[in-house]
Amino acid sequence: MAAEPLRRAMLPLPLSVRSCAFRSMIALPLLVLGCGGPEKAAPADSGDGGRDSAPVEEGPGLARAPEDLVAFVGEPARLDASTSEGEAFTWELGDGATAEGAVIEHTYTNPGRYRVVLTADGAPPHTDSLVVTVVHRPLAEAPVASSKLVRSGEALWAALTDFDLLAVVSDDGEVLRVPTCRRPLALAAGAGADAGRVAVACRDAAWVHGPDGAVVEVRAGEARAALLFDGLWTLGPEAELTGPDGSVQVALPGRALLGWRGADGAPQVLTAAFKSPMDHALWWDGAPHRMERHPGPDSDTDARGVPNLLGAGALRPDGRALVWGGLKANTERGRFNEGADFAPDRVVRGVVQVVDPLTGTELDPPLLDNRDRVGALAWTPLGETLLVAYHGAQVVDLLDPFSMQRIGGWQHVGHGLDGLWTDGEVAWVLASWSRELVAFDLRAGNAQVELARIRLVDEEVLPADVLAGAQVFFGAADPRMSRDGYISCGSCHPDGGEDGRVWDFTERGEGLRNTQALWAAPAGGPFHWTANFDEGQDFEGDIRLHQGGDGFLSDEDWAVCADGLGPPKAGLSPELDALAAYLAHLRLEAPAEATVAPADLAVFAGAGCVDCHAGAEGTDAAWTAPGEPVLHDVGTLGPGSGSRRGAALTGLRTPPLRGLRRTAPYLHDGSAPDLGAAVRAHEGVELRDDELDAIVRVLSAL
């Protein structure tokens, strides 16, 4: 298999970084010389040949604190400043205690980050400081998690979803590519008896690869996440969690699996609902647990909302904090809901939900400003830092594990950040839409020191415009897409699907609108519930008017063709044309259809469903004339339905049926919680219970 060299050589850190920026990851004394302190003063020559002279005044002190370190609760931490100069030394230890001496030991009784100040007596005295991060000792067996990036043996393994491949990257930067199941979505590295194996969750199966890449186990059926934890665990799209013995239990329809040893030593598996109920989020450890909405207030730095799209999870190594990452959706806001219009920074923003897994108590979450959906999470091995990667903002934040405040991070990392792995010294980030693996030095303090950037593929499988369109679609960091990095097309359409939310678009001249999956959109439009766009490039309107983006058209072109049904935008912007190409490509991402019984199809047709839900997409959406769409009023319009393009709403575009079973709630305003309720809501439709059941079976197979 082909291998590629590193694009950038992995060189040793500069001396200045090694000596002054390096912070010890363990509670051992490290001596650091010359880190910004004053130069040692040369002894003064009395000049009197040893004759009696006036007393020499005391010289300046010189404090040289050790490097930052990690200590454990209840265990003595040794602080060694023996290279300092002075007659006496005083330590302020950050927890109210003080000590004297060049070398001391101190025991912290509570976890936290403590700023320790060392003072060397002298004329004048001199101070230096360090940070001691105090954590509980990690569990004897580290928690495990699914991710798109894992380490197994001497290599990193990354899922290449579009290629049906795994990239296996050795420590010297060699890249091997291993064929795997169709559309790999998540990986898991084995430990213990499973060491050296890697599990892969795919759209058609779950595979387990051995150290050499050979397939050693196959489990049929779509899997969204997998674990190797005393055997293979898989999570299916309908929330079916299958254990190593083949037993199945109902969990939550999630995209992340975590595992750790319970008090009895048995494996305990956790997940979170990817799409939350409207008023709360959910996580699961054998039983469901609520996570409440964030109350806000709405401001330029925070907003209300329910944690949603929880596709990343990580358990702190000490087992005392569980974090889920996703997006917070402020669906309470809107002109119909409460008479308040949106602002770009009050719609969605990244969220990290923090929970005590032992009690289920929610802990204070971090305030994530100018951040979009969380794409990946990882803890350092001792739990002193939480790494958070944001899918479209191209940012990785380093968070304090207790205050959840930002203590560092990296910008402009790459497109589509959805994988993280760290050994506590180097952090690797998977940028899936850049097709790259990027390494940063965690030891460099606040400096952004990039160690390597590795290209994961030789040849691209997607057309160039489709790949460019994906980067536009998810590119929250691009000011043309979003004013402050909060939002992109992918914020409401993860993977081209939908977020399960109902938004109040009354200020847009619309009304309550249930997000639709884009992979179900007709190729040539019309788009949206009210057919107010006729080409993919028309999403420039949403970008400019509702996301605060600068837009991809020139202002001159925008002035001419701002109307979504007006002059065409195609050909005016390479980025918008690429976006339209990606939207067309998403039709290939729809879930596969299941087999439908002929008798059920006969009931479906006999009830008149095919009159509107026709063709391969299950919709009669079309244009009867330029700007004149096919619309229907089936009796579901209500007070919140609003208008169409600011005028009277006479009907709605027929929604496609592809992938319908996974897009609850239903109808344009989300008023039907399930498929049966959606069918019953159609005015004039009279069905027996058995007929309704048959129609629901058809819809559930699409």
- In tens, the pLDDT along 347-361 reads 999 999 999 999 999
Q: What CA–CA distance (Å, rounded) separates 145 from 270?
A: 9
Strand-pair partners of 536:
none
* The two structure tokens encoding residue 316: 């702190």
What string of DSSP letters covers 345-414?
A: GGSEEEEEEEE-TTT-PEEPPP---S---EEEEEE-TTSS-EEEEETTT--EEEE-TTT--EEEEESS--
Cβ 666 vs Cβ 680: under 8 Å = no
pLDDT at 10: 32
* The two structure tokens encoding residue 306: 């329910």
pLDDT at 26: 28
Q: How high does pLDDT run on average in the chain? A: 90
Q: What CA–CA distance (Å, rounded) separates 666 from 172?
A: 51
Helices (H), 474-523: 489-492
Considering the domain architecture, whether residues 243 and 220 belong to the same structural domain is answered as yes
Question: CATH number of the domain that 65 lies in?
Answer: 2.60.40.10
Whether residue 102 is contained in a domain is answered as: yes
Segment 634-641 mean pLDDT: 96
Cβ 270 vs Cβ 286: under 8 Å = no
Kindly tell me the number of DSSP H helices and DSSP E strands found in the chain. 10, 40
Which positions ≥6 away from 606 have C-beta within 8 Å? none
Cβ 17 vs Cβ 67: under 8 Å = no
Segment 462-478 mean pLDDT: 98
Q: What CA–CA distance (Å, rounded) separates 332 from 502?
A: 9
Q: Which domain holds residue 126?
A: 31-39+58-135
Q: What CA–CA distance (Å, rounded) separates 637 from 291?
A: 32
Asked if residue 45 has pLDDT above 60, the reply is no
Segment 169-187 mean pLDDT: 96
Cβ 435 vs Cβ 455: under 8 Å = yes
Whether residue 127 is contained in a domain is answered as: yes
Among the ranges given (37-41, 222-226, 291-295, 667-671), the one the predictor scored with the smallest mean pLDDT? 37-41
Whether residue 284 is contained in a domain is answered as: no
Considering the domain architecture, whether residues 161 and 131 belong to the same structural domain is answered as no
Segment 464-471 mean pLDDT: 98
Please, which contacts does 551-554 make with residues 24 or more away whose CB atoms are closer than 8 Å? Answer: 551/480, 552/472, 552/480, 552/576, 552/579
φ and ψ of 516, to 5 deg? -105, 150
Considering the domain architecture, whether residues 143 and 231 belong to the same structural domain is answered as yes
Whether residue 656 is contained in a domain is answered as: no
Reported confidence tier of residue 58, pLDDT bands at 50, 70, 90 = low
Asked if residue 398 has pLDDT above 90, the reply is yes
- In tens, the pLDDT along 207-237 reads 999 999 999 999 999 999 999 999 999 999 9
Considering the domain architecture, whether residues 143 and 119 belong to the same structural domain is answered as no
- In tens, the pLDDT along 654-700 reads 999 988 988 999 999 999 999 999 999 999 889 999 999 999 999 99
Considering the domain architecture, whether residues 175 and 264 belong to the same structural domain is answered as yes
Considering the domain architecture, whether residues 102 and 116 belong to the same structural domain is answered as yes
Instruction: Give, in order, the Cα–Cα distances in Å from 434 to each of 372, 394, 430, 456, 470.
Output: 18, 11, 9, 9, 10
Given the DSSP bridges, would you call strands 126-135 and 69-72 parallel, antiparallel or unpaired? parallel
Q: Which of 83, 113, 135 corresponds to the end of one domain?
A: 135
**SS3 for 520?**
helix
Segment 414-418 mean pLDDT: 98
Helices (H), 228-377: 335-338
Considering the domain architecture, whether residues 265 and 153 belong to the same structural domain is answered as yes
Total structural domains within the chain = 2
Q: What is the pTM of this model?
A: 0.90
Reported confidence tier of residue 90, pLDDT bands at 50, 70, 90 = very high
Q: Choose between 14 and 420: higher pLDDT.
A: 420
Considering the domain architecture, whether residues 165 and 81 belong to the same structural domain is answered as no
The secondary structure of residue 137, as a DSSP letter, is P
Considering the domain architecture, whether residues 109 and 168 belong to the same structural domain is answered as no
Question: CATH number of the domain that 168 lies in?
Answer: 2.130.10.10
Sign of CA dihedral 214, 218, 222, 226: negative
Considering the domain architecture, whether residues 96 and 219 belong to the same structural domain is answered as no
Segment 117-131 mean pLDDT: 95
Q: What CA–CA distance (Å, rounded) separates 563 from 390?
A: 33
Reported confidence tier of residue 155, pLDDT bands at 50, 70, 90 = very high
- In tens, the pLDDT along 369-386 reads 999 999 999 999 999 999
Which positions ≥6 away from 50 have C-beta within 8 Å? none
What string of DSSP letters covers 537-583?
A: GGGHHHHHHHSB---SS-HHHHHHH-STTSS--TTS-HHHHHHHHHH
- In tens, the pLDDT along 60-71 reads 899 999 999 999
Q: Which of 135, 165, 191 corresponds to the end of one domain?
A: 135
Angle (CA) 496 439 373, round 5°: 30
Q: Which of 135, 169, 190 corresponds to the end of one domain?
A: 135
Among the ranges given (47-51, 363-367, 460-464), the one the predictor scored with the smallest mean pLDDT? 47-51
Displacement of CA 156 from its chain's centroid (Å): 19
User: What residue ranges in 610-665 does DSSP mark as E strands?
Assistant: 623-625, 628-629
Reported confidence tier of residue 522, pLDDT bands at 50, 70, 90 = confident
Considering the domain architecture, whether residues 167 and 225 belong to the same structural domain is answered as yes
**SS3 for 492?**
helix
Reported confidence tier of residue 54, pLDDT bands at 50, 70, 90 = very low
Considering the domain architecture, whether residues 116 and 200 belong to the same structural domain is answered as no
Segment 99-111 mean pLDDT: 97
